[in-house]
């Protein structure tokens, strides 16, 4: 365990040094804030979170799981509160309540006549309410604000290590199970017919989603993480008709939003989580207008061309 942690920290060190080399090429005014260690950690965390969320958001968008992502992210709150109460690391509690809620949603869907959107709305608001009640008793409002909206400038090395670990795990899982995941997202019935274990794929994907949300807690917070799980994937979906390209573009949009958002938030001294999400939304709007295949302008132009010739 000790050796594992050591390895993790030296990997973090290495990544930060590599990042600083790139930052070194930037103009002085942009690079200046990154001389502080907390800014370096914030930058690396943001990049990692942007990348993992970007990758997972392809599945969320194509599988129509946006509401499920929202549900899991809210359901993480009571876990954080309970972990705080018991003195556990926050991510353990967060992961447990997030996973329990997603399983509970599945159970209600399967065994009652309640439809899935109602099942999700019901479960996640209940979990969120429980979290709010516990926190109101035990912690200050600043704490609550940090959990809800993120506090990337205050990211501790241990949290950064968790984010790195989640990122590596997510990438390895998606790489090893690329074909089953693609097939299950595209056509679950075909996956079933070919003898793939669709239950395992389904719950594996949900657990991966939960892990991603927990890892993003400190960067964008639980309210806004769902934006990072939808917007990059939606943007990429407008730009390409190939799944592998969509994955890459989506990761790119996630990372770009995180980096630009963080820089802007430091420059203008505004909330970083919100700024990151706004940058992602801006990229989405640009794609919506300018995408050569599915953009509004290209579509209008093609329509005109058909009309006049």
Partner 1 sequence: MISEPDSSAVDIQGVYAAYDGQPVLMDINLRLKAHQWTAIIGPNGAGKSTLFHLLIGSMKPLRGSIQVFGGSLSEHRRAGTIAYMAQREAIEWDFPISVKEAVMTARYGLMRQDTVWRRLLPPRWSDRAHHQAVEEALEAVNMSDLARRPIGALSGGQKKRVLLARALAQNAKVLLLDEPLAGVDPVSERLILKVLAQQRSAGRTILMVTHDLVGTRQHADHVVLINRGVVDQGIPEQMLSEHMLARMAVATPLDLAEEWQ
- Contact residues for partner 1 (CB under 8 A)? 62, 113, 175-176, 178-180, 182-183, 185-187, 189-190, 192-196, 237, 240-246
From 261, 284, 259, select the one nearest 274 (Cα to Cα). Answer: 261
Tokens of 150: 């993120």
Minimal distance in Å, beta carbon 231 to partner 1? 17
Compare residues 48 and 182 and give the one whose CB is closer to partner 1: 182
Residues with Cβ < 8 Å from 242, sequence gap 6 or more? Answer: none
55 within 8 A of 174, measured Cβ to Cβ = yes
Question: What is the closest distance, in whole angstroms, from the C-beta atom of residue 241 to partner 1 in the complex?
Answer: 4
Beta-carbon contacts of 91 under 8 Å, excluding residues fewer than 6 positions away, are: 83, 159, 162, 214, 215, 217
Judged by beta carbon, residue 88 or residue 243, the one nearer partner 1 is 243
Q: How far is CA 217 from CA 11, 72, 82, 84, in A?
A: 21, 12, 16, 15
Q: Which CB atom, from 140 or from 189, has the smaller least distance to partner 1?
A: 189
Q: How far is the CB of 176 from partner 1 (least distance, A)?
A: 7
Q: How far is the CB of 203 from partner 1 (least distance, A)?
A: 16
The residue (of 61 and 94) whose beta carbon lies closer to partner 1 is: 61
Spatial distance between the Cα atoms of 188 and 38, rounded to a whole number of angstroms: 44
Closest distance of CB 72 from partner 1, Å: 22
Measured from the CB atom, the residue of 113 and 137 that comes closer to partner 1 is 113
């Amino acid at each position: 365990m000790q050796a594992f942690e050591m390895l993790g920290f030296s990997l973090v060190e290495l990544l930060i040094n590599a990042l600083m080399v790139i930052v070194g090429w930037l103009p002085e005014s942009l690079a200046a804030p990154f001389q502080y260690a907390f800014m370096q950690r914030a930058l690396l965390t943001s990049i990692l979170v942007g990348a993992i969320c970007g990758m997972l958001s392809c599945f969320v968008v194509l599988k129509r799981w946006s509401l499920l992502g929202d549900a899991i992210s809210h359901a993480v709150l009571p876990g954080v509160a309970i972990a705080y109460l018991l003195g556990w690391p926050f991510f353990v509690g967060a992961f447990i309540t997030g996973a329990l809620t997603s399983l509970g949603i599945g159970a209600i869907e399967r065994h009652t006549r309640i439809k899935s959107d109602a099942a999700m709305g019901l479960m996640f608001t209940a979990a969120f309410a429980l979290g709010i009640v516990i926190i109101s008793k035990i912690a200050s409002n600043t704490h609550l604000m940090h959990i809800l909206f993120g506090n990337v400038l205050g990211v501790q090395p241990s949290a950064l290590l968790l984010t790195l670990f989640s990122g590596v795990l997510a990438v390895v899982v998606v790489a090893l199970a690329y074909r089953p995941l693609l097939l299950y997202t595209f056509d679950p019935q075909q996956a079933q017919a070919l003898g793939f274990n669709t239950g395992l794929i389904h719950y594996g994907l949900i657990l991966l989603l939960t892990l991603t949300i927990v890892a993003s807690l400190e960067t964008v917070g639980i309210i806004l993480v769902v934006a990072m799980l939808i917007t990059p994937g939606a943007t990429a979906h407008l730009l390409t008709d190939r799944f592998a390209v969509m994955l890459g573009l989506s990761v790119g949009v996630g990372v770009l939003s995180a980096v630009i958002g963080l820089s802007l938030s430091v420059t203008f001294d505004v909330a970083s989580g919100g700024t990151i999400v706004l940058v992602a939304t801006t990229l989405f709007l640009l794609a919506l207008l300018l995408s050569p295949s599915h953009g509004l302008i290209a579509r209008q132009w093609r329509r005109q061309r058909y009309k006049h010739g």
